[in-house]
Amino acid sequence: MKNHSYQAGDLVVYTLPKQSPSPGPRARSIHPSQMGDDYRYLVDKFWMVAEVLPDNMLRLVTRRGKYRVVSADDLLLHKAGWWQRLRNRGRFPALELLQMHRAEARSA
């Protein structure tokens, strides 16, 4: 079990398992499915913690402003290291999304 303490604004990487007939350019760990029609692979998603929820859950915001809720203990989730933040800086959500989320939470 990981011992991360997440805060709003933390940049995180979620490794999303996917399956399709044609993996994209950022796919890694590509394996053919049993029947051979599709491929199973992993894609890293670069998100930001919008809110720490009760019961060890996190609300994450994507680059396009969508929200996902995942457990803070999810093995597919980790904080972005300095190299990942630098190398993928254009793929993380903008800080303005976090500010918009906070404004929405205040008005609700």
Residue 80 lies in a domain: yes
Which residues 6+ apart lie within 8 Å of 59 measured at CB?
49, 50, 51, 52, 53, 67, 68, 69
Domain count, the chain: 1
Sign of the dihedral defined by the CA atoms of residues 70, 76, 80, 81, in that order: positive
Q: Which domain range does residue 49 map to?
A: 11-107
Residue 52 lies in a domain: yes
Beta-strand ranges (E) seen in the chain are 11-20, 28-32, 39-53, 57-61, 67-71, 77-79
**What pLDDT score was predicted for residue 1?**
44
Residue 6 lies in a domain: no
32-83: per-residue pLDDT in tens?
988 778 999 999 999 999 999 999 999 999 988 899 999 999 999 999 999 9
Give the Cα separation of 95 and 89 in Å (integer): 12
- Tokens 């011992």 belong to 3
